[in-house]
Amino acid sequence: MRTSRKLLISALTIIVLTVAAVPLINLTVYTPARAAEAYIGALEDGDAQRAFSYLSAPTPSSTLALSSEVLSAAPDLPREPEAETVSVDGEQAKVRLSYNLSSQERTIDLTMVKLPASAGLFDRWAIEQKEWPTLALDVSGSSTATVNGYGVSAGSVPVLFPASYLVGFDATYLKSKSERAEVTAPGDSPTVKLSPEPTAKLEDTVTEQVTEHLEDCVKAKTLMPAGCVFGYDTDNEIIGDISWSLERSPEISLTSSGNDLELTPSTVEVRVKGRYRDIVTAAEHDLDEKLSFVLGGSVVVKSSQVSFEPRRMGDISVV
């Protein structure tokens, strides 16, 4: 009985001492500056969930790039944080935070807000983030992209700061080189513009479409095949149908300029045969001419659909 009383008195004494020490602990341990440093420490460890506990932020529009996997795959993360509490005003505080990112020392002023106390005693501070920093992904020809190798939807992508990100895309028909972007403040929103480059699959698809287009054109029985970029012009009278044949197919390759994809100009040769009546002598003759022209055109990729619009570059010559 006497032992129980001693234990109870000891426990009460500890509680009283702890409660009495709380203000001092809050002033020295659970400070706004320490919270800011802990946030950077969580990022350095690639721990997105722990980093969230030091943020006071609205619900993000997307969490695809807010995972520990994306964070851990970053080409560079902050380290060596040092923070000082500049001022405290009730539930808010100002903190000056320094850290290293990409071999450069950065300094940022942050607003901190007080959260509900831990265990009802110890102060909790978080970085006030009124809106999420984002990567504005300007992607032509693809509705998706990758951030640090993980798939996201193109457009505005919420991310954690401060960190470096590698952005690119590798779709069925188009791909891009990876671009590096840094997000260093709560309100940052750097635009990453990705220019498309054709994949081997796109070149194969365009080759099929060009081949089909030319094969349809040479099926025509007239001198000016409808919808085609070649034809044969003459003042003589054509007797009956004429026939076309493809003598030389184009070499298919694609070039990109900004967001535009073009068929690299290439020479095509076709042969036209038939009978004609000379407009002057009225004599009948065989028609047999080989024609040469340069084929170009534009290629559009939209909603995973490929379309080719042929264009003749220059005049048709007889060879």
Region 285-304 average pLDDT: 92
Give the DSSP H or E segment for 81.
strand 79-89
pLDDT confidence of residue 268: 98
Position 220 scores a pLDDT of: 95
**What residues contact 148, with CB distance under 8 A and at least 6 apart?**
65, 70, 71, 73, 74, 75, 165, 166
Q: What is the CA radius of gyration of the chain?
A: 35
pLDDT digits (tens, 9 = 90+) for 228-243: 999 999 999 999 999 9
pLDDT at 253: 94
Cβ neighbours around 52 below 10 Å, total: 14
Among the listed residues 260, 247, 254, 240, the one whose alpha carbon sits nearest the alpha carbon of residue 300: 260
pLDDT digits (tens, 9 = 90+) for 27-82: 445 699 999 999 999 999 999 999 999 999 999 999 999 999 999 999 999 999 99
* Contact call for residues 129 and 56 (beta carbons, < 8 A): yes
Contacts of 1 (CB under 8 A, 6+ apart): none
| Model confidence pLDDT, tens digit, residues 69-97 | 999 999 999 999 999 999 999 899 999 99
What is the pLDDT at residue 259? 67
**Residue 11's pLDDT is what?**
47
Q: Among 96, 125, 103, which Cα is nearest to 112's?
A: 125
Give tens-digit pLDDT for 196-239: 889 999 999 999 999 999 999 999 999 999 999 999 999 999 99
